[in-house]
Chain A
């Protein structure tokens, strides 16, 4: 296990280096001048020149990138061009919101997904199965910006059951949970549907497997067959999907955070790309990539617990 973590750690360093280079060079090539974005459309040529010099934008690409990597290695991820605030500080403020949203959506996705998957697998080919499958597929097919707007329209504006947006209250209070419900449903629906499909098919597969048949033949109670024998084995592919979906969720936060006015890393990313705030783009992308790698590592470790046959050493 430790060997696995160390190996992934080393891979992560190279991965981050690769990503930072990719992001840095694409932002460098992309049209749009950070100085113009700082100075605003009314700044004159001399205003812009002074700003460029001040931000170190006049140095050649290699010098700028080298400076970035050197500072980053020492834990200094630079300062925002726009707000002149430390990047790490800006991210620390926003990250808890993104994490809250991602975890809440994951809970929505896992709960709905597994329940729906189980129901349709246990009632295979019944009307319940067909309608659950149809709903699951419809869930994947809904554009989430559209779903978000519809949910606001119905539950926040018309019924006034839940707040329209924001995520300012602590998550353990009633207010905090209320704020999370709509965004979590918006973001979690797509993943719920994917998990439901996977849970359904792997349950079906396991139910047909020999050892389950043997257990049944031995007279083990049906309830025990499902919970003890089937579910555990069916979980392995489902966990893979959950791990993969975490990346999908992180991508999805970009749009969900925008629609629900949530101050998270996803929104920070698009806003910084739009404002050509390079250090901020770098910092937030690196964080998301790290998160993704760590989640996949956790998934791999969970595997070894669920299925002792799997080993990474």
Chain B
């Protein structure tokens, strides 16, 4: 309902109204205290990622075998050092870069794939059958298994991890987009534009896609959370970042052997992952409430 009104607004009254919609959404979002907390956490992480060389106190891959496994609040290493004597704080800071980068890449790839399939399936009846079967096929695969197969074929590195994770957001995204397309395709104004000779591509890009914009944004935000978590899980299984890359999941996996003697090696990166995943989840929730509480996204 709200969706349709929103789109009609966009269609009829141009840029000013569009801006207004964004501003009201933002206002609503900022009333949500949890979402504000989430936004702050995300901003902190982005800052850490961009200014990593300035914020980090040490070279994140520089070893010091004599000063290894120092506890937190040690002199010169406020978050301690790992089993190779590398500064944990600096690794967390550089790790922020990696998890953001992998998350953004995986989600964008997934969205591109999902949007393309969803648009084609919803718009062209002939393609719909095949595309939805492919989507079903991807759906009935446990995500982590699919990722393991892809990594087994492509090899272990972060780019392939991003690809593997992106594939597993395609089916849900495709369904969301397809649903939007189907609901709007038969609308009179689309027919009218079509009869005026607009190309299919133009109709899809200018008139149909913006209609699905809200659910895609919400979905994308929540997927960031899933993507970061999945990268960590794959690293735990030894299928993620190449050493000595300071990836948070890999840090937990490596630190786990020292859990009883140096618990900070798992707890610190564990909290880092939890915070950022939490942040993307609450912002996604908040966005959904602000845009349209009835939106159907799991």
Q: Do chains A and B touch in the complex (CB under 8 A)?
A: yes
On chain A, the residues within 8 Å of B133 by CB distance are 14-15, 18
The answer to whether B140 and A293 have CB atoms under 8 Å apart is: yes
Which of A244, A273, A292 meets B298, CB within 8 Å?
A244
Which of B8-16, B68-76, B201-209, B225-233 contacts the other chain? B225-233
Number of interface residues of A (CB under 8 A): 51
Which of A57-65, A76-84, A139-147, A305-313 contacts the other chain? A139-147
Chain A, residue nearest B136 (CB): A15
The answer to whether B34 and A133 have CB atoms under 8 Å apart is: yes
On chain B, the residues within 8 Å of A30 by CB distance are 149, 152-153
Chain B contacts with A in 204-241, Cβ cutoff 8 A: 225, 229, 232-233, 236-237
Q: Does A285 contact B (CB under 8 A)?
A: yes
The smallest beta-carbon distance between A22 and chain B, in angstroms, is 7
Question: Known contacts being A143-B270, A153-B259, A251-B143, is A23 close to B282, with CB within 8 Å?
Answer: no
The smallest beta-carbon distance between A206 and chain B, in angstroms, is 12
Q: Does A255 contact B (CB under 8 A)?
A: yes
Question: Known contacts being A143-B229, A145-B233, is A138 close to B274, with CB within 8 Å?
Answer: yes
The answer to whether B140 and A15 have CB atoms under 8 Å apart is: yes
On chain A, the residues within 8 Å of B137 by CB distance are 15, 18-19, 22
Q: Does B293 contact A (CB under 8 A)?
A: yes
Q: Does B141 contact A (CB under 8 A)?
A: yes
Which of B140, B152, B252, B298 meets A241, CB within 8 Å?
B298
Question: Known contacts being A141-B229, A143-B232, is A273 close to B152, with CB within 8 Å?
Answer: yes
Q: Does A149 contact B (CB under 8 A)?
A: yes
Which of A35-43, A66-74, A167-175, A194-202 contacts the other chain? A194-202
Chain B, residue nearest A32 (CB): B152
Chain A contacts with B in 119-142, Cβ cutoff 8 A: 130, 133-134, 137-138, 140-142
Question: Known contacts being A19-B137, A26-B149, A143-B270, is A197 close to B285, with CB within 8 Å?
Answer: yes
On chain B, the residues within 8 Å of A252 by CB distance are 144
The answer to whether A288 and B274 have CB atoms under 8 Å apart is: no
> Most chain-B CB neighbours within 10 Å: which of A143, A144, A145, A244?
A143
The answer to whether A26 and B153 have CB atoms under 8 Å apart is: yes
Q: Does A289 contact B (CB under 8 A)?
A: yes
The smallest beta-carbon distance between B147 and chain A, in angstroms, is 9
The answer to whether A27 and B152 have CB atoms under 8 Å apart is: yes
Chain A contacts with B in 190-210, Cβ cutoff 8 A: 194, 197-198, 201, 205
On chain B, the residues within 8 Å of A112 by CB distance are none
The answer to whether A201 and B293 have CB atoms under 8 Å apart is: yes
A22 to B293, CA, bound (A): 38
Question: Known contacts being A18-B133, A26-B153, is A143 close to B236, with CB within 8 Å?
Answer: yes
Q: Show 20 residue pairs from A and B whose CB-CB distance is below 8 angstroms, ordered by the A residue.
A: A26-B152, A26-B153, A29-B153, A30-B153, A130-B34, A134-B34, A137-B285, A140-B277, A141-B229, A143-B229, A143-B252, A145-B236, A146-B270, A197-B285, A241-B298, A247-B142, A269-B145, A289-B141, A292-B139, A292-B140
- Smallest CB-CB A-B distances: 10 pairs: A251-B142, A141-B277, A141-B278, A30-B152, A289-B140, A292-B140, A30-B153, A251-B144, A141-B274, A26-B149
Contacts from A to B (Cβ < 8 Å): 11, 14-15, 18-19, 22-23, 26-27, 29-32, 130, 133-134, 137-138, 140-146, 149, 153, 194, 197-198, 201, 205, 237, 240-241, 244, 247-248, 250-252, 254-255, 269-270, 273, 285, 288-289, 292-293
